[in-house]
A and B are shown apart, each in its own frame.
Chain A
Amino acid sequence: MNRTRRVDLRRFPAFATVSVLLLVFLYLPLLVVVVYAFNTGRIATIWEGFSLHWFGDVVANADIRNATLTSLQVAAVATVCSVVLAIGIALGLAALRRTARGAVMLVAGAPLVLPEIVLAVATLAMFAFLDVPLGMTTVTLAHIAFCVPFALLPIRARLADMDQRVFEAAADLGASPWRVFRRVTLPLLAPGIVAGALMAFIVSLDDFLITFFVAGPGTTTLPIYIYGMLRVGITPAVNALSTLILLVSLLVLAAAYFAGRKRG
């Protein structure tokens, strides 16, 4: 096996170069943001020296704190709700007939496939049609909707990997459906649920476009706030804030990676 691999290596020599360049391409821009975040100067793009004071500015900014809290609050509610809905869909799907299953998958997959801008204006149009005032509630509802497919993916994958006979065994031993769900399905499904929750959480935190349309003037999530800052102009504070966001994403992902590896 190893020998074969080494022969493959020599087969397509340019592939390794392309790959390394692509990895650089993927990470260099992020590195640039981080480096400029430590720039002293007021003009974001001209390097004048090392400084931490933009981070201080970001942390001290009450608007940024509020936007962060709003983002976290929306993401937390959207994660819990979308995961619950996704578990329901994942468990029920297998019991459905083929056509019904296809229909449910179409509905559940729609937010993933539809262009985000279409979903954004359509959701806005519906809230306007129903005269629902825009705010926290509309943002959270919209987030739950587009988080469901992301939560569903790992939960379904986990369910498909599970040995279906354990459920039968539990039922045969006299466990009620609810007891089977609580004592067998949920614990076995847990890694999928954790992965799904993580995906939903990150996707919710990341969202700009849908939030932009359904938030209304009073509700500012972090991406909306950053977008507002960018419209005023590039400032070093944007770099510092972006760096903090990157750092948080990295920590969450690293935690997920090592948690996943430990579980095997």
Chain B
Amino acid sequence: MTDPVTPLTPGTAQPPADDPADGLAASAAPGTARTRPGRASSSGARRVHRPAGQGARSSVLPGTLFLLALVGAPLVIVVAYSFMSRGMFGVGVAGPFSVDSYVRLLFDTQLDGSKIFDPRYIGVFWQSIWLAALTTVCCAVLAFPMAVWMATRSPRTRALLVFAVTIPFWTNTLVRTYAWVLILNDNGPVSGLLGTPIGLLYTPFATAVGLVYVSLPFMILPVYSSAEKFDFRLAEAAYDLGARRLTILRRVVYPAVRPGLVAGVVLVFIPSLGAFLQPQLLGGGKSLMIGNLIEQQFGASRNWPLGSAVAVALLVLTLLTLMGFALAGRRGGQKVSLM
């Protein structure tokens, strides 16, 4: 730290995305307005009212149109597919508008045409929400102390620690998930240490361990980037004023890192909710999650409309989660940004 008086040093890792651009626009707009009369006499005046050098507005077009075509349009199509019926021979989709796929998520049709409640699909949703929530809580509980500890190291150590947390995040997800197959299986090191196989692999527990493992950096990094901006002399001040350690954590440190926690919760919960690899490789058949259900419908079961309906349901859950956390962020009085 070169200047201990400066309370907030902007994180080097990633500044909250909206703020810089907003601040930039806010400062540029009046600035240009003020200077324009003066500059009108100089050369190049015609170009200046566009934020200089930033390029034309139209330069966003290729990227935006491409993403609309490859992300926007597919979403529209999957929503449309969810309101259709299975195609001939189980290939693709066909036919008129129908809500059968959504009804199927809740009810099973008997041979006589009557519908009875079928808890299987809802059960998968419940299992997914529960596992994703468990993963998120575990990550938050583990990441909070680590992020605070990292933020209290020297700048050099901090950089190294951030790098150390980032490495697993950038190594292959499939390999990292597979590592737990190796560790937890009945011939693996855990069973070896215990002396007897205890059937850890292919359980919801194994899925949860895998999810926590791949998600942890997504929690540590945003919490750390909040903690790093926290002036720890405030904790010192609270201590000097007689606050206990727990009170300091709860009343001083926690509010400061809350935006990072909220961002981390979103970054962990949403991918966990739609996880595929971890339940597939670690959970076996026992902890089917929404992602596996979708894959089955698009794969072996060849029921694209039902798969689409499940995907739309997952999408709705995702959006609800995002909205919930946006509200939580706003109530905290601090803007939470993911990008």
Q: Which residues of A contact B (CB under 8 A)?
A: 1, 4-5, 7-9, 11-12, 14-16, 18-19, 22-23, 25-27, 29-30, 32-33, 36, 43-46, 84-86, 88-89, 91-96, 98, 100-101, 104-105, 107-119, 121-126, 128-129, 141-142, 144-145, 148-149, 153-154, 156-157, 159-161, 164-168, 170-174, 177, 180-181, 184-185, 202, 205-206, 208-209, 213, 223, 226-227, 230, 234, 238-239, 242, 245-246, 249-250, 253, 257
Contact = CB atoms under 8 A, between A and B. Distances in A.
A86 B172 contact: no
Contact of B179 (A18, A30, A159): A30
Majority DSSP secondary structure for residues of B touching A: helix
B232 A4 contact: yes
Given A226-B174, A246-B172, A125 B213 contact: no
B122 interface: no
Interface core residue of A23, A168, A177, A209 (most chain B CB under 10 Å): A168
Contacts of B8: none
B314 A117 contact: yes
Given A26-B216, A45-B188, A174 B43 contact: yes
- Which of A7, A46, A245 gathers the greatest number of chain B CB atoms within 10 Å? A7
B135 interface: no
Contacts of A93: 21, 60
Choose among B14, B174, B180, B185 the residue with the greatest number of A CB atoms under 10 Å from its CB.
Answer: B174
Question: Chain A CB within 10 Å — which of B58, B168, B216 has the most?
Answer: B168
Given A107-B64, A112-B338, A153-B339, A253 B167 contact: yes
B307 A33 contact: no
Given A11-B245, A12-B149, A29-B179, A208 B1 contact: no
A193 to B, nearest CB: 14
8 contacts: A4-B233, A19-B149, A25-B216, A88-B62, A114-B318, A166-B53, A171-B52, A239-B182
Ranked 5 nearest A-B pairs via Cβ: A167-B53, A115-B274, A160-B20, A92-B60, A85-B63
Contact of A129 (B77, B166, B290): B77
B72 interface: yes
Of B21, B43, B58, B148, chain A has the most CB atoms within 10 Å of the CB of: B21
Nearest to A256: B170
A98 B23 CA distance: 12
Contacts of A1: 1, 4
B110 to A, nearest CB: 29
B242 to A, nearest CB: 14
A154 B13 CA distance: 9
B338 A128 contact: no
Contacts of B338: 109, 112-113
B291 to A, nearest CB: 4
Given A19-B149, A126-B74, A145-B70, A171 B63 contact: no
Contact of B17 (A29, A104, A156, A253): A156
Contacts of A161: 15, 20
B321 to A, nearest CB: 10
A33 B175 contact: yes
A219 B98 CA distance: 35
| Residue with the highest number of chain B CB atoms closer than 10 Å, among A1, A122, A213 | A122
Number of contact residues on B: which range applies? 35 or more
A84 to B, nearest CB: 8
B172 A245 contact: yes
Contacts of A94: 21, 24-25, 28, 51, 54
A9 B172 CA distance: 34
Contacts of B78: 118, 121-122, 125
B178 A115 contact: no
Contacts of B179: 29-30, 32-33, 242
Given A92-B58, A93-B60, 15 more contacts: A15-B145, A15-B146, A15-B148, A19-B149, A22-B143, A22-B146, A30-B175, A32-B179, A88-B61, A105-B17, A108-B63, A112-B338, A125-B74, A206-B174, A249-B171
B338 to A, nearest CB: 7
Contacts of A85: 62-63, 66-67
Contacts of B53: 164, 166-168, 170-171, 177, 180-181, 184-185
Contact of B54 (A33, A91, A154): A91
Contacts of A9: 152
B301 interface: no
Contacts of A164: 24, 28, 51-54
A224 to B, nearest CB: 9
B71 A114 contact: yes
Interface string B127-161: 00000000000000011011011101110000000
B182 A32 contact: yes
Given A129-B77, A145-B70, A209 B171 contact: no
